Amino acid sequence: MERDSKGLAIVIRTTPIREQDRLLTLFSPSMGIIEAVSYGARKSIRGVKAPLYTEGTFSLEKGRRGMTLKDIDAISTHSAVLEDLDKSQSAMLFSDLVLTGRSAEPELYALFTSALDALEDEGFEKVTVEFIVHFLALEGLSGDYEACPVCGRPYSEGEILGFSSSEGVPVCHDCDTMDGALLLPPNARAYLRRSLELSFGDSLSLVVSEEQEHRIFRYLLRTLPFSFPGKLRSLEYGIWKI
């Protein structure tokens, strides 16, 4: 096995270890999800700064105690994300989904980094909605907005959908297991269906009122624990009241 590795990656989590050092969790399209130690302000070792959400070409050295960060050729630090509480919370949720989902396909890397880029300029609710829609699609956990996945009946145009807690997806009124606690109105359903047809980048240009966007945002956050089979600490202990 090669002693050193070099490749495109993004810092997806950082954990302080010892006084000046940090354990970085990197998401890389070629290396997968890996950990590397970033040595801090020590006299003998040149410190390389790698703040959370820094994307670039990472040079890593394999030692007896694991990988060590040697150098970064940074593409973006996504600093605007860290400066805003809601954007930080969005990015934390995206990282949580990637780390809990444990897949590291290049398509997911593209989605993750595009979403962080988008967070810098776009509203956090819109980016979060589109990230969740496209993430669930990549993981094969997407809902069906044309027909009920339980009974197979096609939805009528004005139909309000219920939700199946066991299937983790929207369903018709007859298959609802939540007593109408998670309803999806027709216009929100149309928005989600259209989002799924578009790429992540294109879906950001869908026009929707702020109020409607907020409703869809809340709907996806409330249904996510049913749709995604993993514990999401970022939502449980996060700042959003949903």
Cβ closer to Zn ion: 124 or 155? Answer: 155
Of 82, 17, 34, the residue nearest 54 (C-alpha):
82
Tokens of 189: 């359903």
Burial of 111 (0-12, 13-18, 19+ CB in 10 A): buried
Q: Closest approach of Cβ 153 to Zn ion, in Å?
A: 5
Q: Closest approach of Cβ 189 to Zn ion, in Å?
A: 14
Residues making contact with Zn ion (CB under 5 A): 148, 150-151, 171-172, 175
Q: Closest approach of Cβ 172 to Zn ion, in Å?
A: 3
Q: Closest approach of Cβ 132 to Zn ion, in Å?
A: 23
Cβ closer to Zn ion: 137 or 150? Answer: 150
Instruction: Output the CA–CA distances (angstroms, integers) from residue 213 to 35, 111, 218, in the order listed.
Output: 36, 20, 9
Cβ closer to Zn ion: 151 or 190? Answer: 151
Cβ closer to Zn ion: 29 or 162? Answer: 162
CA 223 to chain centre: 15
Q: Closest approach of Cβ 162 to Zn ion, in Å?
A: 8
Tokens of 76: 């973006």
Counts of helices then strands in the chain (DSSP H, E): 8, 7
79, β-bridge pairs: none
Q: Burial code of 135-160, b = ≥16 C-beta within 10 A, e = fewer? A: bbbbbeebbbbeebbbeeeebeeebb
Cβ closer to Zn ion: 25 or 164? Answer: 164
Cβ closer to Zn ion: 50 or 148? Answer: 148
Q: Closest approach of Cβ 5 to Zn ion, in Å?
A: 49
Place of tokens 């007593």: 179
